[in-house]
Amino acid sequence: MSVSSLHLPATFRQQILAHLQACLPEEGCGLIGGCAGQGQQLLPIPNQLHSPTAFQMQAPEMIAALLSFEQNGLELLAIYHSHPTGPLWPSPRDVAAFAYPGVWTLIAAPTSTGWRIRAFQIRSTKIHPGKILWQNESTVRTRFVLL
């Protein structure tokens, strides 16, 4: 698979950043379900480490999210988390802990021009930056599910 871009509703950007900023100073995390590179369902997950420099998704909520994707005919498309003090790049820990080949890693971090989100593919410890194409809501059918 050589997908180099990910399509997400622009509303996901606002929701992801609102969630991650609400988690400050801790890292926040969540999952995006979709198919064929198109994000359709966004689910914030609690960070059970409650750490400003690391995250681990709380297992029951993560399992519930994956089941929800499956029930909606979606696959796990992306895992997002924040780096509250940067950088806008996967950490060595992120790379070492990554266990979902083909699934996008989204990192959000503050920059000199505000918070940004970048997408990466992590393959056998190599980091490949990708592109997020943010879409207006009118162009895509989306589902929002809140836990």
Which residue among 26, 27, 70, 137 is the active-site one? 27
CB of 143 to Zn ion, least distance (A): 27
Least Cβ distance, residue 25 to Zn ion (angstroms): 14
How many beta carbons lie within 10 A of that of residue 128, not counting itself? 12
The stretch near Zn ion (CB under 5 A) out of 31-39, 56-64, 94-102, 114-122 is 94-102
Among 94, 109, 121, 132, binds Zn ion (CB under 5 A): 94
Contacts of 34 (CB under 8 A, 6+ apart): 40, 41, 74, 75, 77, 78
Tokens of 45: 């997950």
Does 91 interact with Zn ion (rule: CB under 5 A)? yes
Counting contacts by CB under 5 A, is residue 26 touching Zn ion? Answer: no
- CA–CA separation, 59 and 16 (whole Å): 20
Question: Which sequence positions are flagged as catalytic?
Answer: 27
